[in-house]
């Protein structure tokens, strides 16, 4: 069995893992490995309308479904999850919506220091490069994630906005700005007619770093434990089983279904 050593091992190169791989490898002193069980990419992923070809496509989607229960009339509800670099950001509908400011403020009030909306707002701003008319007190212009304001117009949009107003739903120019409630045009992670996934916006700019190793088609089988400490992972790629040790940390960001399903295996390290 091949053995490898890194400072950080990131399991899952999805919406979170791609960002972590970029940020951790920004320090040239850190050797970083990011593992993705899915493929590098898919031809339909870069084309925004291509999400219709990916939402039920086993080549790019894990095709999970929920367990049947009373609330769904004993039905299984599809849970699409991306199976390629960028994870679900490479197959989703590309709508860009921040969390509600009240949620962050509530978390802070419950004792989670540093989580109020005003405290997390700079992170939202640093994250995005917004192309559209907006208040720069709330929006970012120079971040890696490229977000675009919809410039579509027409009678159907006017009618919907008017109808919403008639039932008390006011128009908001920027639902990711000062006033989040209301009706408005969709903002999307699209730029120049292409999907802006985290693979495109975070992994691609970091690919040239010699301290970053990106492995697609690499299925993580288990976490290596030394007592109660996770010291690495065991994964399979190209038919070969590999153990990758982490001198600093193992970050498990394989999505809720797969992260919770990872087994543990002991080691004599």
> pLDDT at residue 269 above 70?
no
Q: Is residue 251 assigned to a domain?
A: yes
Rounded CA-CA distance 142/140 in Å is: 6
Domain endpoint, select from 188, 220, 236: 188
The percent of residues in the chain predicted with pLDDT above 70, rounded, is 99
Give the mean model confidence (pLDDT) for residues 105-123: 97
What does the pLDDT look like over 240-266, one tens digit per residue?
Answer: 999 999 999 999 999 888 887 788 886
For residue 121, name the pLDDT band (cuts at 50, 70, 90): very high
**Range(s) of the domain holding residue 238:** 2-50+198-266
Is residue 56 classed as helix, strand or coil in its secondary structure?
A: coil
Q: Is residue 73 assigned to a domain?
A: no
- Residues 6, 25: one domain? yes
Domain endpoint, select from 156, 188, 220: 188
Q: Is residue 145 assigned to a domain?
A: yes
The percent of residues in the chain predicted with pLDDT above 90, rounded, is 91
- Residues 208, 162: one domain? no
Domain endpoint, select from 188, 214, 229: 188
β-pairing, 187-188 vs 145-149, is antiparallel
Give the mean model confidence (pLDDT) for residues 75-98: 96
- Residues 182, 203: one domain? no
State the angle between helix axes of 117-127 and 101-109 in degrees (0 to 180), rounded to the nearest 10.
130
- Residues 226, 164: one domain? no
- Residues 128, 162: one domain? yes
pLDDT at 268: 56
Q: Is residue 108 assigned to a domain?
A: yes
- Write the CATH number for 228: 3.50.50.60
Q: Is residue 72 assigned to a domain?
A: no
Tell me the average pLDDT of the chain: 95
- Residues 158, 206: one domain? no
Q: Is residue 38 assigned to a domain?
A: yes
The edge-to-edge listing of strands for the beta sheet with 212-215 is 212-215, 32-35, 2-11, 240-252, 229-237, 218-226, 263-266
Helical ranges in the chain per DSSP H: 15-25, 51-54, 101-109, 117-127, 155-166, 198, 204-206, 256-261
Q: Is residue 60 assigned to a domain?
A: no
- Write the CATH number for 140: 1.10.1220.110
Q: Is residue 95 assigned to a domain?
A: no
- Residues 137, 158: one domain? yes
> pLDDT at residue 144 above 80?
yes
- Residues 228, 165: one domain? no
> pLDDT at residue 75 above 60?
yes
What does the pLDDT look like over 2-16, one tens digit per residue?
Answer: 889 999 999 999 999
> pLDDT at residue 85 above 80?
yes
- Residues 114, 157: one domain? yes
Residue 102: φ, ψ to 5°: -65, -35
Rounded CA-CA distance 17/242 in Å is: 20
- Residues 156, 176: one domain? yes
pLDDT at 2: 84
- Residues 160, 115: one domain? yes
- Residues 223, 164: one domain? no
What's the structural domain count of the chain? Answer: 2
With contact defined as beta carbons under 8 Å apart, do 253 and 34 qualify? no
> pLDDT at residue 211 above 80?
yes
């Amino acid at each position: 069995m091949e053995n490898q050593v890194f400072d950080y091992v990131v399991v899952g190169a999805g919406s979170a893992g791609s960002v972590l791989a970029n940020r951790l490898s920004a320090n040239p002193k850190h050797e970083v490995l990011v593992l993705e069980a899915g493929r590098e990419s898919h031809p339909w992923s870069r084309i925004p309308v291509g999400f219709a070809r990916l939402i039920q496509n086993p080549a790019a989607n894990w095709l999970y479904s929920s367990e049947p229960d009373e609330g769904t009339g004993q039905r299984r509800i599809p849970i699409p999850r991306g199976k390629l670099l960028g994870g679900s950001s490479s197959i989703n509908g590309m709508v860009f919506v921040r969390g509600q400011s009240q949620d962050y403020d509530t978390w802070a009030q419950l004792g989670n220091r540093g989580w109020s909306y005003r405290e997390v707002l700079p992170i939202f701003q640093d994250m995005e490069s917004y192309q559209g008319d907006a208040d720069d007190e709330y929006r970012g212009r120079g971040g890696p994630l490229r977000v675009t304001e919809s410039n579509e117009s027409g009678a159907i949009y006017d009618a919907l906005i008017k109808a919403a107003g008639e039932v008390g739903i006011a128009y908001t120019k920027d639902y990711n700005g000062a006033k989040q409630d209301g009706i408005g045009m969709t903002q999307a992670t699209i730029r120049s007619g292409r999907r802006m996934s985290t693979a495109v916006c975070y992994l691609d700019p970091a690919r040239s770093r010699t301290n970053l190793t990106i492995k697609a088609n690499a299925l993580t089988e288990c976490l290596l434990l030394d007592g109660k400490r996770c010291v690495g992972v065991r994964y399979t790629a190209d038919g070969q089983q590999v153990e990758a040790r982490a001198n600093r940390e193992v970050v498990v960001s394989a999505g809720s279904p797969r992260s919770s399903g990872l087994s543990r295996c002991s080691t004599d390290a």
